[in-house]
């Protein structure tokens, strides 16, 4: 069952849906002193495609080592690296990477930072999977990250709904 209401009133889009959520914690891409790290979210099950997309981005953008985690057992991956870039550079890198979840890009673009979940949302917390090594040195580390967040996440892909008001 899925309920979705979406309407546009002038410059505003109003959307409403209903779904089961749980409280989770995440880490944001903001770096102390300004700048961002790069964070990706993939909702596909083929690890080989994710690895290849990340390796391509790493070469194209001259990125440091990329860490990959399995975000849930049915498929889905998180990845991150520490280049210390501007928000627009980070957005360009993630948006140009194949197979990245479009909803993730859109949501984070509205917030001006990336967020990756680090706790369980019903199927386990993200688990380290692999690293894609690089000769490029990272310009920051986890210790340089400026913000951590608590938020609500849908517990499955079978979302009954969500809600928002967005100025277009």
Q: End-to-end CA distance of the chain: give it in Å, rounded.
A: 29
pLDDT digits (tens, 9 = 90+) for 19-40: 677 788 899 999 999 999 999 9
Ranges of H-type helices in the chain? 47-61, 87-95, 102-111
Domain chopping of the chain, boundaries? 21-157
Q: Edge-to-edge strands of the sheet including 12-17?
A: 4-9, 12-17, 164-167
Q: Is the dihedral of CA 152, 153, 154, 156 positive or negative?
A: negative
Quick one: DSSP state of residue 54? H
Q: Around 152, how many Cα atoms within 13 Å sit in the side-chain half-sphere?
A: 9
* Neighbouring-strand partners of residue 151: 24
Beta strands in 12-168 (DSSP E): 12-17, 21-28, 36-42, 66-70, 77-85, 115-117, 127-132, 148-154, 164-167
Distance in angstroms (rounded) separating the CA atoms of residues 106 and 112: 10
Q: Greater confidence, 73 or 4? A: 73
What tokens appear for 13 in the block?
Answer: 């889009």
pLDDT digits (tens, 9 = 90+) for 99-113: 999 999 998 998 999
* Neighbouring-strand partners of residue 130: 68
Q: What percent of the chain has pLDDT over 70?
A: 83
């Amino acid at each position: 069952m899925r309920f979705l209401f979406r309407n546009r009133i002038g410059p505003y889009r109003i959307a409403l849906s209903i779904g089961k959520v749980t409280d989770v914690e995440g880490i944001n891409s903001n770096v102390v002193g300004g700048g961002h790290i790069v964070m990706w979210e993939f909702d596909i099950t083929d690890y080989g495609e994710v690895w290849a997309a990340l390796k391509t981005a790493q070469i194209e953008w001259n990125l440091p080592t990329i860490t990959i985690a399995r975000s849930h057992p049915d498929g889905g991956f998180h990845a991150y690296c520490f280049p210390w870039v501007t928000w627009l550079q980070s957005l360009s890198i993630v948006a140009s990477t194949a197979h990245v979840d479009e909803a993730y890009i859109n949501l984070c673009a509205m917030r001006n930072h990336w967020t990756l979940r680090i706790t369980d949302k019903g199927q386990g917390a993200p688990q380290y999977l692999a690293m894609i090594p690089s000769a490029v040195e990272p310009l920051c580390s986890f210790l340089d990250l400026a913000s951590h967040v608590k938020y609500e996440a849908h517990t499955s892909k079978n979302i009954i709904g969500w809600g928002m008001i967005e100025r277009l």
